[in-house]
Amino acid sequence: MEPTTETLSVNGVVRNTLAYNIKSLTGRLKVPPLRTENVTVPGRHGSLRTRRKFYAEGEIVLPMWVRDCNEDEAEPSRATFRENIDKLTKLFRPGSGMLELLHTLPDGSVRRALAECTEAIDFSTKGRGLADFSVALRVPSVF
């Protein structure tokens, strides 16, 4: 597995290493749904469109993997695998407060979001020393 060219850091710790990484951009490129509805008028078919629409909270799902080595791909071991899983579960623990996500793009620009972890999906092993998992994050300020 190779780290991606873009970087994502959570609370100052880069998540794109040879020990753990994010699989794809899929969970980061999502627009929040609208929460403002059109107005239903009694005695009329359909509804009246409201011009000013507001968005619901943003949601980011990060599909990730973790390996049995340190960040330089050295010292593979079962103990290192457990340490990496412990780091990730400690960082992405639901209810642990706001996380600062910094997404650095290839052109050097940075996108920032403050999010809270709402769900950490169980690790599923993919062979010796490799596991997949996902994390669901809520962005209260939407964008």
Domain ranges of the chain: 9-29+70-143
> Cα–Cα distance between 104 and 92 in angstroms, integer?
20
Residue 74 has pLDDT above 80, yes or no: no
Least confident of 4-8, 45-49, 104-108, 129-133: 4-8
Average pLDDT of 4-32?
76
Residue 1 has pLDDT above 50, yes or no: no
Quick check: 27 and 61 in contact, CB under 8 A? yes
Residues contacting 57, CB < 8 A, separation 6+: 32, 138, 139, 140, 142
DSSP H stretches of helix in 13-123: 78-91
